[in-house]
Structure 1
Amino acid sequence: MDIGDYRAHDALGLAALIRQGEVSREEVFAAACAAIEADNPYLGAVVRTRFARAAREGGHLDPEAPFAGVPTLTKDLLMALEDEPLACGSASMAAWRAPENASLVTRLRQAGLCILGQTATPELGLMGITEPRAFAHPVNPWRPAHSPGGSSGGSAVAVASGLVPLALGSDGGGSIRIPASHCGLFGLKPSRGRVPLGPMFGEVWQGAVVEHALTRSVRDSAAVLDVINGMDAGSPWPLPREQGFLAALGRPPPPLRVAVSLGEPLGAPLGTRLDPEVRLAVEWAAHRLEGLGHRVDWAEPPVEGGALADSYLTLYLGHLAADLAWISEQTGVPVGRLDIEPATRAIGRLGRCLPARDYELAKRDWNRVARAMAGFHRRFDVLLLPVAAGPAPRRRALYPSPARERLMALLAIPGASRLALKAGMLKRLAAEALRMTPFTQLANLTGQPAMSLPLHITPDGLPVGVQVIGPMGDERRLLVLAAQLEADSGWGRHLPRVLG
């Protein structure tokens, strides 16, 4: 199997070829390794490989597993491989090795997936771009001068460029959906607690973070969810394993009540300006849904974007402070001497000064928003809105400028962080951090499933995804709707095929 043949198939397609004896597992493995070795120096998607270990593990795969022999990559964040590096995009963790496998990793292997390496992420997964100082910056395979988004940017680049047919990602504020939108992929964020984060973690960011995959096809996403969902031992979320996500794609959805919004309540308080191509993508998707027999109405979600952003950033600050303390414990390096980026250090200082009362009040806001959205979904089955305010930005365009980093460094002055919080710095941080991507955090706070669909390409050749959010626990309906739109639009033929 040459690299071109390898790239022509999604994950289930490769698994079928292996199962039918048309190609061997070893041939697929060799093609994947060759693709990574040839193209990753240019793409910057993969931060480390583990070909030798993966080859040994491949000899123990169940040949009847749904993805038997299919190559994949995991994200360099949370997805621990026993006794292997997990740097989380940070120089501070470069020498750290995980003590045990993540439950997700165990389930991927049981499903027959062969983990060839780990993909790039911003430091600690904190940004909607993937430009860590400690590792290479992935390039968007559609337009190399542009960002693939983040924080699962490395995984998105790996799939969009054909290094692997699917790659794992995590989503705490849009980190699967944003890179899926910028790289022309399908990206599903499952419901809160659907995929376990154990055994190292019970929940991350108060349950806002969920792990899943970036894929070329809806069927791959559904099949992955079939094998990784359900609580593990000690999970804080009593969600048993569900089956039938892939099987459900065999029939179209009944007519749905679709609410359509350009996200004004979410973006306007942050000063977001919607790119005309994003508006066109949403309007075009609404028209297509109507043509497929769904009832489409314009309606705004019952949320206020400024308050939602404040609540999200409050929890973000608190968790970063805790994460830095954990890294200090794991590495034996004092927090003040950790090798971290200036923005990470400044935000961590703000988090250390955050009153516990404010943290708890922010979490209570999550419940209020979730109840409001539950009422909204009594009127509408799904909500269609943008993923991001524009197509993929140019690389470095959204990273803090040197002047901004110098300003943030002033937080090192004793008492400055506390004064900055009192002076309203949290609101300014929220506006600056989320202005280009204010539409994805809603589903993380409420716990609802949400997906990015690659339904539009700009005249400049950049993909633009549209987001669909469903009621809590209703991934099945989202996946069935996605499969209907995939069949109607034929989006798979629009993937970039030529590198350079």
Structure 2
Amino acid sequence: MISPTEYDQLDGLAMAALVRTGQLTPADLCAAAIARAEAVNPKLNAVVYPLYEQARRRAAAGLPAGPFGGVPFLLKDFGAQYTGAPHTSGSRALRNFVPTEDAELVCRWQAAGLNILGKTNTPEFALMGVTEPTLHGPTRNPWHLGHTPGGSSGGAAAAVAAGITPVAGAGDGGGSIRIPAACCGLFGLKPSRGRVPTGPEQGEKWQGAAVEHVLSRSVRDSAALLDATQGPDVGAPYFLPNPARSYLEEASRAPGRLRVGFSLGHPLGSTLHPECATAVRDAARLLESLGHDVAEVPLPFDGRAVATAFLMLYFGETGASIAALAKVLGRPARPRDVEPTTWLLSLLGRTYTAADFAAARHTWNDSARRMGRFHQTYDLLLTPTLATPPVRIGELQPKSLEQTLLKVVNTFGLGGLIRRSGIVEKLAEQSLEKTPYTQVANLTGQPAMSVPLHWTADGLPCGVQFIASLGAEDVLFRLAGQLEQAQPWFDKRPALVG
């Protein structure tokens, strides 16, 4: 058996080591995880589909002897399909959908020995940087229950921060690993485009902007799980060179003297919250103390152009998702099937032309070239992960006037008219104003990580982001391991579980 205190002091690799040496069993870990979930989840609403009985049976029957043999794990209720478990993507339109085939990534996670305990909350179709779907209700931040854990992997982040599992599945199409990592005091790495599989049904997600990995408390858990999942699957459209060494090994290697450019510029020209600026300045000083070359630089990309191109993707993919609902519903989707904002986004997606989308893709390529030139001088770009600390629950929901506008537009299908008015772009920009730093790495395909190095005066986490050149996850893991040693965060725990 293992006590709650002992369970909370272990990362995933430490748990697996105790199983391998016979000091614990998978059943012990499963019982501890379920007990923690039952204690804290009612306050958080992080796990929306418990699969406890299935997890108990797997623990008793025996799990693969992989690097995470017996370790409890949670899947995000978006992207990573799991046979026999609900897969709603946070939408009432899919509340009865149960997949009959595992995603390739889920197969690899299970082969690594992870024991799936349940599924975590996500905003509808993973479209928001907060996790407040109508279907399941909001997930709350363990550090302060009145604030968001971020999104779209907010349920996963809240669960890991609260100690339900040491690691949980997550996905990132515009910052959805890094944003909740920053909000919940976790380590979150978005791998390079093509580093992990997206099959068996899809060759790429969100035109290649979206990639899945995990949220974790320790750097080494993230590294070891990327070792277990990296590499193309059948029909993959992207092939990256294999890493020279395992990422787990890289996480314990010295990073050498890195050239780091940091920026406090807001990509949309707005004001950066002082706490986020302090987080970056403190990180820059820490890097200098560790022997790295650090210089302040202007942002090496056009923030407004990136935002515009991302919104084109955002609208278009939402439109495609709504159209695809017909396969599950047996009829075309209707406004009442989804949330009003989601339906409006889908209407907007249908008002743009193929030429509009092609022009937006040119911005992707231009941004990649700009970042490539930046990396000829600097190994890494350091920015805030977010432009503000975690916002309050409900703060980014449409206000009453906006809700009236949404109702009129959705009722009469006025997507083209509302697009020409510029109102929706203004509303969308206001949303991106809080999260303007993460999208560029999705468009360029570069790996990026959020590292928990700062907490606000109110005790809320405030992460910083590092972006590396395409395929350079090894550089990120080496630096993350050094930062974790220099300024440890593993034992910083929210009062909810203290």
Length-normalised TM-score, structure 1: 0.96
Distance 1:148 1:94 in 2: 23
Tell me which of 259, 262, 265 is aligned to 1:263: 265
- Asked if structure 1 preserves the Cα contact closer than 8 Å seen for 2:261 and 2:296, the reply is yes
Which residue in the other structure is 1:80 paired with?
A: 81
1:322-343 Cα shifts (integer Å, max 9, x gaps): 1111112222142225521110
Tell me which of 244, 247, 252 is aligned to 1:245: 247
Distance 1:263 1:204 in 2: 30
Which residue in the other structure is 1:386 paired with?
A: 384
Distance 1:499 1:353 in 2: 48
Which residue in the other structure is 1:470 paired with?
A: 468
Tell me which of 440, 444, 450 is aligned to 1:442: 440
Which residue in the other structure is 1:348 paired with?
A: 346
Which residue in the other structure is 2:430 paired with?
A: 432
Which residue in the other structure is 1:132 paired with?
A: 133
Measure how far apart 1:425 and its partner are.
4.1
Which residue in the other structure is 2:237 paired with?
A: 236
Measure how far apart 1:317 and its partner are.
0.6
Higher deviation after alignment, 315-324 or 192-201: 192-201
- Asked if structure 2 preserves the Cα contact closer than 8 Å seen for 1:310 and 1:430, the reply is no
- Asked if structure 2 preserves the Cα contact closer than 8 Å seen for 1:80 and 1:101, the reply is yes
Distance 1:284 1:415 in 2: 49
Amino acid in structure 2 at the alignment position of 1:308: V
Distance 1:424 1:217 in 2: 43
- Asked if structure 2 preserves the Cα contact closer than 8 Å seen for 1:257 and 1:381, the reply is yes
1:402 aligns with 2:404: no
1:261-315 Cα shifts (integer Å, max 9, x gaps): 0133x131xxx32111111110000000000000001112322211111110011
Measure how far apart 1:448 and its partner are.
0.5
Amino acid in structure 1 at the alignment position of 2:405: L
- Asked if structure 1 preserves the Cα contact closer than 8 Å seen for 2:26 and 2:60, the reply is no
Distance 1:401 1:458 in 2: 27
What's the % identity of the aligned pairs? 46
Across the aligned residues of Structure 1 and Structure 2, the Cα RMSD in angstroms comes to 1.6
Distance 1:178 1:376 in 2: 24
Distance 1:220 1:139 in 2: 24
- Asked if structure 1 preserves the Cα contact closer than 8 Å seen for 2:84 and 2:98, the reply is yes
Higher deviation after alignment, 23-32 or 119-128: 23-32
1:1-53 Cα shifts (integer Å, max 9, x gaps): 12221111111111111111111211111111111122211110001011222
Per the alignment, in what secondary structure is the counterpart of residue 452 of structure 2? strand
Distance 1:61 1:474 in 2: 36
Per the alignment, in what secondary structure is the counterpart of residue 362 of structure 1? helix
Matches within 5 A, 1:275-354: 275-354=273-352
- Asked if structure 2 preserves the Cα contact closer than 8 Å seen for 1:173 and 1:440, the reply is yes
Distance 1:170 1:240 in 2: 22
Distance 1:63 1:416 in 2: 53
Measure how far apart 1:59 and its partner are.
4.8
Which residue in the other structure is 2:222 paired with?
A: 221
Matches within 5 A, 1:60-99: 61=62, 64-99=65-100
1:325-370 Cα shifts (integer Å, max 9, x gaps): 1112222142225521110111111111211110111112100110
Measure how far apart 1:259 and its partner are.
0.1
Measure how far apart 1:240 and its partner are.
6.3
Per the alignment, in what secondary structure is the counterpart of residue 69 of structure 1? coil
Which residue in the other structure is 2:108 paired with?
A: 107
Measure how far apart 1:136 and its partner are.
3.0
Q: 1:53 to 1:240 in 2, by over 3 A?
A: farther
Distance 1:440 1:5 in 2: 35
Which residue in the other structure is 1:149 paired with?
A: 150
1:109-150 Cα shifts (integer Å, max 9, x gaps): 000000110000001000000000100311111111111110
- Asked if structure 2 preserves the Cα contact closer than 8 Å seen for 1:61 and 1:68, the reply is no
Distance 1:145 1:425 in 2: 29
Measure how far apart 1:424 and its partner are.
3.0
- Asked if structure 2 preserves the Cα contact closer than 8 Å seen for 1:90 and 1:124, the reply is yes
Per the alignment, in what secondary structure is the counterpart of residue 250 of structure 1? coil
Distance 1:450 1:152 in 2: 16
Distance 1:461 1:289 in 2: 23
- Asked if structure 2 preserves the Cα contact closer than 8 Å seen for 1:148 and 1:179, the reply is yes
Measure how far apart 1:184 and its partner are.
0.4
Measure how far apart 1:419 and its partner are.
2.2
Amino acid in structure 2 at the alignment position of 1:65: G
- Asked if structure 1 preserves the Cα contact closer than 8 Å seen for 2:380 and 2:468, the reply is yes
Length-normalised TM-score, structure 2: 0.97
Distance 1:212 1:103 in 2: 12
Distance 1:263 1:57 in 2: 50
- Asked if structure 2 preserves the Cα contact closer than 8 Å seen for 1:73 and 1:166, the reply is yes
Amino acid in structure 1 at the alignment position of 2:246: G
- Asked if structure 2 preserves the Cα contact closer than 8 Å seen for 1:161 and 1:497, the reply is no
- Asked if structure 1 preserves the Cα contact closer than 8 Å seen for 2:240 and 2:471, the reply is no
1:364-401 Cα shifts (integer Å, max 9, x gaps): 21001101100110010000000111111111011112
1:198-239 Cα shifts (integer Å, max 9, x gaps): 112221111111101110000001001000111111111124
1:62-105 Cα shifts (integer Å, max 9, x gaps): 55310000001010001101132100011110001113100011
Which residue in the other structure is 2:453 paired with?
A: 455
- Asked if structure 2 preserves the Cα contact closer than 8 Å seen for 1:148 and 1:157, the reply is yes
Which residue in the other structure is 1:169 paired with?
A: 170
1:446-473 Cα shifts (integer Å, max 9, x gaps): 1110000000111111110000000011
Distance 2:358 2:61 in 1: 47
- Asked if structure 2 preserves the Cα contact closer than 8 Å seen for 1:61 and 1:110, the reply is no
Distance 2:497 2:23 in 1: 27
Distance 1:497 1:218 in 2: 22
1:180-210 Cα shifts (integer Å, max 9, x gaps): 0010000000111111111122211111111
Query: Which structure 2 segments of 5+ residues have no match?
Result: none
